[in-house]
Amino acid sequence: MSKSDSQKIIIVGAGVAGLTSALCLRKSGHDVTVLEQAPALQDIGAGIQLSPNALHVLNAIDVCHKLESKADTPTEVSIRDFKSGTPLLTQTMGGAFTRRYGAGYWHCHRADLIEALFNAAKEAGIQILFNEKITAHEETPETVFVKIQSSKDISADLLIGADGISSTIRSTLQPTSMANFTGQIAWRGLVPTERLKTHPPEGVSVWVGPGKHFVAYRLRQGSLMNFIAVEERTAWTEENWMLEGDINTLTTAFSAWDSPIQDILEACTETYLWGLFNRPAPKTWHSCRTVLIGDACHPILPFMAQGAAMAIEDAYVLATSLENKTCIEAGLNLFQKKRQKRVKNLYDISRRNASLYHASGIKAFARNALFAGARMFPQALSYQLDKVYGLNVTK
Ligand SMILES: Cc1cc2nc3c(=O)[nH]c(=O)nc-3n(C[C@H](O)[C@H](O)[C@H](O)COP(=O)(O)OP(=O)(O)OC[C@H]3O[C@@H](n4cnc5c(N)ncnc54)[C@H](O)[C@@H]3O)c2cc1C
């Protein structure tokens, strides 16, 4: 779309998807307003891994340089035996990733990513309004009306639902879309590294064992250790991010695991629990003037660390899909067409990783043999990683 085709666009949610899409659409010349229910930007969440496919987009919208000084760049990722910590498979990252994919691999705090996106959005003249909770929306062929809890309705040419896992926009667009519990829960936590008695392995470590796995990596120039501990459970009700967890239960669940894990958990004073749900993307992601992106459309299990990356890719592809289109719906159609297969692939890879990580008995033996094969033929592993990290949607 050229500047003369500029549309009035409302984005619901100032999360990763909402702010990235605001920047991409502003770059295409649209008039963008972001409505966020929270009263202000909040220092919430924990670590987010930004892979090359996400960094290409952040680079294209001039956000990388704002984030770089706060990001950590791991040299490698190792999948380790849960008890001994012996690496079963190691992938070098750092310069090797930059050479292969044209961008590196970063870790950052979610709050730092949001702040960098927010500052870039303000500089680009995007209006971001806080304390604005969207309760409903309605479409006519000419416009879309948005109901806000605190004030009167507003209208736009296009409404983007970037309102996360409990999306209000999705519940109107896709009222039958259901989520079902995966049988897994995740604890997340941050520990100051100065409180650790020992020096945990460098890079990203993923300890894998029967029915559980534990991921740890450094954040904020190594001053924080971020962890995610996943365990299989029979029941769960909340699909929520911020439920406080019991550290004793967590410590007991991982008491027989490798010593760096014990050390991290011993130093941990606060943890949050989160139930993992399967929520496949709906068949249709949009109507004539409303579209879903990011977690509102396709929350992905965190076993390939691609939830934020898929939201970031969505944002760029949505903006380019709307370019040179005479009608918005045609642009939304193209967007869905371009993204559906990619998102489904990542959804499937993430689910497969869960069973690979949590294997026991003969299945664990087979997994370790598979990893041994990959150690001997690293090209096989690179081939798999290329499918995830090798896409540059900005090209
Ligand atoms: C609190 C929190 C912590 C997270 N921590 C991690 C983490 O540690 N590691 C990781 O990999 N991923 C984390 N994620 C998930 C990750 O950020 C997402 O997979 C990815 O960023 C997708 O982002 P999104 O913008 O689609 O959704 P979200 O990041 O969930 O953003 C949605 C936004 O919409 C707003 N919103 C919701 N409903 C309304 C409404 N009705 N009206 C107005 N605004 C609304 C929300 O307040 C939120 O700001 C976290 C998400 C959240 C919300």
- Kindly state the DSSP code that residue 281 receives in the 8-state scheme: P
Q: In one letter, which amino acid is 153?
A: D
Region 260-277: what's the mean pLDDT? 93
pLDDT at 294 over 80: yes
Ligand 1: residues with CB < 6 A are 12-18, 35-38, 44-48, 110, 133-134, 162-165, 168, 188, 241, 294-296, 302, 307-308, 311
pLDDT at 288 over 60: yes
Residue 164 CA to ligand 1 centre (angstroms): 5
Nearest ligand 1 atom, CA 13: 34
Give the total residue count for the chain.
395
What pLDDT was estimated at residue 175?
83
Q: Which of 229, 311, 273, 256 is nearest to 82 (CA)?
A: 256
Q: What value does the CA radius of gyration of the chain take, rounded to a whole number of Å?
A: 21
Check residues 359 and 238 and name the one with the higher pLDDT. 359
Task: Please tell me the distance from the alpha carbon of residue 331 to that of residue 20, in angstroms, as a whole number.
Answer: 18
Q: What is the pLDDT of residues 369-394, one digit of tens each?
A: 999 999 998 888 888 899 999 999 99
> What's the pTM value of the predicted model, to 2 decimals?
0.95
Q: In one letter, which amino acid is 214?
A: F
3 within 8 A of 26, measured Cβ to Cβ: no
Q: What is the pLDDT of residues 47-88, one digit of tens each?
A: 999 999 999 999 999 999 999 999 999 999 999 999 999 999
Nearest-CA residue for atom 29 of ligand 1: 15
Q: Which of 263, 298, 272, 271 is nearest to 284 (CA)?
A: 298
Pick the CATH number of 3-69+104-178+280-360+374-389 from 3.30.70.580, 1.10.10.60, 3.30.365.10, 3.50.50.60: 3.50.50.60
What pLDDT was estimated at residue 2?
46
Confidence band, pLDDT 50/70/90 cuts, at residue 4 = very low
Nearest ligand 1 atom, CA 19: 25
Retrieve residue 14's tokens. Answer: 């100032």
Q: What is the DSSP string of 29-79?
A: T-EEEEE-SSSS------EEEE-HHHHHHHHHTT-HHHHGGG-B--SEEEE
Region 26-52: what's the mean pLDDT? 92
Nearest-CA residue for atom 14 of ligand 1: 45
Q: What is the pLDDT of residues 91-147, one digit of tens each?
A: 999 999 999 999 999 999 999 999 999 999 999 999 999 999 999 999 999 999 999
Task: Please tell me the distance from the alpha carbon of residue 26 to that of residue 125, in angstroms, as a whole number.
Answer: 8
Q: Is 259 in a helix, a strand, or coil?
A: helix
pLDDT at 1 over 70: no
Nearest ligand 1 atom, CA 305: 11
Residue 165 CA to ligand 1 centre (angstroms): 7
Residue 253 CA to ligand 1 centre (angstroms): 28
Region 166-174: what's the mean pLDDT? 92
Retrieve residue 269's tokens. Answer: 């004073």
pLDDT at 3 over 60: no
Nearest-CA residue for atom 35 of ligand 1: 13
Region 349-361: what's the mean pLDDT? 92
Buried b (16+ CB within 10 A) or exposed e, 249-278: ebbebbeebbebbbbbbebbeebbbbbbbe
Residue 16 CA to ligand 1 centre (angstroms): 7
What pLDDT was estimated at residue 240?
64
Confidence band, pLDDT 50/70/90 cuts, at residue 152 = confident
Nearest-CA residue for atom 1 of ligand 1: 45
Nearest-CA residue for atom 30 of ligand 1: 164
302 within 8 A of 228, measured Cβ to Cβ: yes
Tokens 């050390």: give the residue: 263
pLDDT at 341 over 90: yes
Among the ranges given (174-183, 264-273, 332-341), the one the predictor scored with the smallest mean pLDDT: 174-183
Task: Please tell me the distance from the alpha carbon of residue 48 to that of residue 295, in angstroms, as a whole number.
Answer: 14
